[in-house]
Amino acid sequence: ELLVADPSGNAKSTQNDDKMVIKVDAMIAKLLPPAAEPRKYLKLTELPQVVNAHIKPIPPVRINYTIQVDKTSTYGELVFDIRVPRVPVKDPEPASAQNSLAQQGMLLLTEFNTVTSQLEPQLATLEKKTQLLSLQLSSTANKYQFFNKLADDPVPMLNDYIKATSNALKVLSGDDGFDEDTVRRSNFYQENEAVLFENLGVLLSNGRM
């Protein structure tokens, strides 16, 4: 690597640009001015200055025109289309090398698609197993909570369970205990949101909806 820490600087300050140097190789040495003793390292902050010394701007395009000061309009009568010369950039790699890289990329994409299509059935099977295990875990957690509460205080727990079961039985049998005229009012759903949500849960869990 060309970018290294300054051997003469503090090793703890390697993140600072002033403490980073570049090894002068053969290509960088051509950019440096001639010196009695060749430099081995170049500060990172000095690199832009060295590069800018070898860069020149594009020659300007000069056009002879006349400015009319007797008119208030800023629109001219002539329009100039300026063609900016484009410097051809040499291709660092031949066409054969680019074609080879393109073929390798297509082969990798084809292999990736093949492996993906082969793994899709396995991934679908694993996803089904994961969903099944999640349902089993949820059911086991509910059973644990039920028996844990039953072991701590069985009498109130059984009373609550019997009450909830009887409510669920009423919901499943259609005997919800609500007056037909009452359920037509909007405030009924606001005041009994928790009860209605529980009833919907009972119907959904038993496949009634």
**Given this model, what pLDDT does residue 110 score?**
87
How far is residue 161's CA from residue 172's CA, in Å, rounded to a whole number?
A: 16
Q: Is there a contact between 21 and 6 (Cβ–Cβ < 8 Å)?
A: yes
How far is residue 192's CA from residue 56's CA, in Å, rounded to a whole number?
A: 81
Residue 115: pLDDT over 90: no
Within a domain: residue 122? no
Span 29-77, pLDDT tens digits: 888 888 767 888 888 888 888 888 888 888 887 877 776 667 666 666 6
* Structure-model confidence comparison of residues 91 and 127, the more confident one: 127
CA 128 to chain CA centroid, Å, is 27
Q: Tokens representing 158?
A: 């059984």
Q: Is there a contact between 51 and 28 (Cβ–Cβ < 8 Å)?
A: no
Following CA atoms 92, 31, 20, 44 in sequence, which dihedral angle do they give, to the nearest 10 degrees? Answer: -90
**Given this model, what pLDDT does residue 181 score?**
61
Within a domain: residue 104? no
**Given this model, what pLDDT does residue 11 score?**
45
Within a domain: residue 203? yes
* pLDDT band with cut points at 50, 70 and 90 for residue 14: very low
Span 68-107, pLDDT tens digits: 667 666 666 666 677 777 766 665 556 666 677 788 888 8
Q: Would you give the DSSP letter of residue 33? A: P
Give the burial class of 3: count Cβ atoms within 10 A of its Cβ; 0-12 exposed, 13-18 middle, 19 or more buried.
exposed
Angle, vertex CA 90, rays to CA 84 and CA 92, nearest 5: 145
Is the dihedral angle over the CA atoms 198, 201, 207, 209 positive or is it negative? positive
**Given this model, what pLDDT does residue 83 score?**
76
Name the residue range of residue 202's domain: 179-208
Within a domain: residue 199? yes
- Residues linked to residue 17 through DSSP beta bridges, in sequence order: none
Of 34, 54, 74, the residue at which a domain comes to its end is 54
Total domains in the chain come to 2
3-class secondary structure, 42: strand
Q: Tokens representing 75?
A: 């629109």
Within a domain: residue 67? no
Backbone angles phi, psi at 126, to 5 degrees: -65, -35
Following CA atoms 154, 155, 156, 162 in sequence, which dihedral angle do they give, to the nearest 10 degrees? Answer: 100
Within a domain: residue 92? no
3-class secondary structure, 3: strand
Residue 128: pLDDT over 80: yes
Within a domain: residue 185? yes
3-class secondary structure, 164: helix
The pTM (predicted TM-score) of the whole model is 0.32
**Given this model, what pLDDT does residue 196 score?**
59
Within a domain: residue 47? yes
How far is residue 2's CA from residue 21's CA, in Å, rounded to a whole number?
A: 8
